[in-house]
Structure 1
């Protein structure tokens, strides 16, 4: 009995609030919110027609269904419409809302799961007592609410703060539904009710549900807008062919790395240029040239990631990578990329696809990225002039590297020379 004391006390508190809501004319409130929900549904429909964002198709349907549910609730006493129809429309609307969330987080949807709530409601709760109906309603609604909260909370692609806020709102709604289900166990109905509106718990659920729906609608609009803005920013910093960062993204990342490495760390820049790329495009077509670019991007990204660096496509056939390491490590990374690419691209463009690279190290932080890029370009030009398909170390980087390390590379790779 003591274990049941807290839900009984909570139920008494909720009951008092519910009694105060008895003065609210719910049919009027339902009618007003019917218009608000329909307006939100129409707004989301036009957004879907304009942008073809799949989630808005489901969200528009969700608000139209809930608008219909509220309309049925508003006129059910006057037109003798069974409230179970309104409950089914509402739960189908919630199912459509959940489906839209699944589309938003880029997961497959289940149409069976989306319509299951309303179908279960009709099949299992059409001819039961009010309290059992409430239990069924809150159980289904809470399941959808918690599922929506989970999907949004676990969505980390753009790391949207508003997604977490929307997840918290849905979780709160789910908890409220669960609390109503617990409270319903402590409600005693002495006489038959003329209307569902005679139940304080029904009024309390209606007020919270309508408020939650309106707030959720505006949060979904904001959520989609914030993600669209985030994706536009990402697109502005991404090379569409290779998926790597572009020159602007590389400059921003390099500036952050320079600022972050104020100390003993050495910044090493690797600049790559695909050999005979114009010839490949002229002889084999731009489609083959694109395959060569994508193959090199894959090879370079794999090796750069292993070295903890930043890679970008900074020009037509030119790529750059920035590492925090010793010049000898940067040299070995560039050489590994060159060898791997020569092996993996052997079947492309009759084996003409190779790459040359220049490696430079930053010693003077006041010189900035431009000076480092000039030094790496100088080494790259030397590699090109020496016959292509090789890696050269800039004079400044060669002076920084230890003599033992340079000798080791000179012994292993005769074409590799410190300019």
Structure 2
């Protein structure tokens, strides 16, 4: 049993996994050497060369077209190439059939496009499984090769082959992923895969029976149903993958359309992308794909890539590349939408001239601060009005007025300190929210505001001098945001009527 999740799930595989796969391959080579020794000791049957002339090209082609039972990320691939082994067991003695198949399987898997560790494991596992299958068939086969008992022997050998390959694959994957072997053996579709493999063996028996009792050219006709099965499996898998990816893309588009933050969007892309690609794993990262990986750039700032493991077959890779490009386009458009929405929301809360929060943002912040202070914490509000701003604006021009407002905003930020929230309410009116502070801190901040705005301004159009009237109030039990702001506003007018350039505490 080969699994669609064969590509490595990380940059480095566990050492135990490498040792296990290498050990299985070494055992497979041992079986190959032993089979060749037995063939030589038995007189070097010349039929081996004729068998290889048939098995080598067929094995190379059929290795690339497994039957896929399930279409998910961990779907089961039922190998079709062993049909050659069961054909050879009908027309040749078991030692010759084993030698021919071992000489076919090792190079067939080694020229595959899978990562090297998958090639090593599949070659070794195939040879080991074929050894047990040959032993079973050799023990049960009757003297006459075309017989019902021979069919039963071939089916028993096929069951042994599939069970051995399934267990070895489960152990290999479990060690690589650090999971329980039983969890891998419980792979959905395993029983269906075993049934399909018995049909593959029956097809091999049929080809051997025809070859035994009929002219050779008639036996060649049995290649037609084999080719039909290969083409059907290939077409079904492509159609299944296309439907699965279309469904996954649709679900991703629906989910991505609903997200409102970049972080949530990236999590959604990874989750749906993992279900989309055949390797069963996709990540969004800042590094481009490397060897044994495929990916596409999102075209975002900072630069990000969608990266997935490279599939084990060319057409699966083509499907995944198209799917990644489609998902990347969806994600890039969604990223742009999320960023534009965030920027629009930000601009709706920012004063475009000074860069401070605007009245809407200030009201929201004050309401939140008052609600957080329901337990008794004091909230202070400073209402600031610039004295003499209109005269500067009229004498030096509107550009100078704008420059004065911008510089006043900077000085207010410095005076309010890191705990103060400064906003421009409109015109030459500003406000500051101060959270619960130690006694006297609010008075000190108000004095700092008055002092900062009294200092001369060196504008591009010339020097200017203004002052500030500051109304100060502190929250009391039962106060809401509107009450606080109204009380601070009233205190500011008291300061202005007193001549300005001062702060007044409102009660």
With normalisation by structure 1, the TM-score equals: 0.51
* Cα deviations by residue, 1:198-233 (Å, 9 ceiling, x for unpaired): xx5322222211111112211221221122122211
The answer to whether structure 1 residue 319 and structure 2 residue 430 are counterparts is yes
Q: Distance in 1 between matches of 2:235 and 2:456?
A: 73
Does the CA-based 8 Å contact 1:26-1:203 persist in structure 2? Answer: no
Mapping for residues 129-148 of structure 1, pairs under 5 Å:
138=292
* CA deviation after TM superposition for structure 1 residue 386, in Å: 2.1
* CA deviation after TM superposition for structure 1 residue 345, in Å: 2.3
Q: Distance in 2 between matches of 1:21 and 1:245?
A: 65
Mapping for residues 16-415 of structure 1, pairs under 5 Å:
23-24=234-235, 138=292, 151=302, 170=305, 173-177=306-310, 200-306=312-418, 308-324=419-435, 325=437, 328-343=440-455, 345=457, 350-364=463-477, 366-394=478-506, 396=507
Q: Distance in 1 between matches of 2:300 and 2:344?
A: 25
Q: Distance in 1 between matches of 2:458 and 2:450?
A: 12
Secondary structure, in 3 states, of the residue corresponding to 1:220? helix
* CA deviation after TM superposition for structure 1 residue 241, in Å: 0.3
Q: Distance in 2 between matches of 1:352 and 1:281?
A: 12
Q: Where does structure 2 lack aligned partners over 5 or more consecutive residues?
A: 1-14, 22-114, 123-168, 170-192, 194-229, 241-283
Q: Where does structure 1 lack aligned partners over 5 or more consecutive residues?
A: 30-97, 103-112, 118-134, 153-166, 181-199, 397-419
* CA deviation after TM superposition for structure 1 residue 390, in Å: 1.6
* Cα deviations by residue, 1:155-191 (Å, 9 ceiling, x for unpaired): xxxxxxxxxxxx6xx4xx42424xx6xxxxxxxxxxx
* CA deviation after TM superposition for structure 1 residue 292, in Å: 0.7
Does the CA-based 8 Å contact 2:456-2:465 persist in structure 1? Answer: no
Secondary structure, in 3 states, of the residue corresponding to 1:245? coil
* CA deviation after TM superposition for structure 1 residue 369, in Å: 1.8
Does the CA-based 8 Å contact 1:292-1:353 persist in structure 2? Answer: no
Aligned pairs, number? 253
Does the CA-based 8 Å contact 2:455-2:465 persist in structure 1? Answer: no
Does the CA-based 8 Å contact 2:421-2:433 persist in structure 1? Answer: yes
Aligned partner of 2:86 in structure 1 is none
Secondary structure, in 3 states, of the residue corresponding to 1:388? coil
Q: Distance in 1 between matches of 2:468 and 2:416?
A: 15
Secondary structure, in 3 states, of the residue corresponding to 1:281? helix
Q: Distance in 1 between matches of 2:355 and 2:300?
A: 31
Secondary structure, in 3 states, of the residue corresponding to 1:350? strand
Q: Distance in 1 between matches of 2:232 and 2:426?
A: 67
Does the CA-based 8 Å contact 2:422-2:433 persist in structure 1? Answer: yes
Q: Distance in 2 between matches of 1:270 and 1:20?
A: 79
Secondary structure, in 3 states, of the residue corresponding to 1:360? strand
Q: Distance in 1 between matches of 2:354 and 2:464?
A: 21
* Cα deviations by residue, 1:39-71 (Å, 9 ceiling, x for unpaired): xxxxxxxxxxxxxxxxxxxxxxxxxxxxxxxxx
* CA deviation after TM superposition for structure 1 residue 21, in Å: 10
Q: Which moved more, 1:272-281 or 1:340-349?
A: 340-349
**Which is higher, the Rg of structure 1 or of structure 2?**
2
Secondary structure, in 3 states, of the residue corresponding to 2:463? helix
Does the CA-based 8 Å contact 1:21-1:204 persist in structure 2? Answer: no
Does the CA-based 8 Å contact 2:384-2:471 persist in structure 1? Answer: yes
RMSD (Å) for aligned C-alpha atoms: 4.2
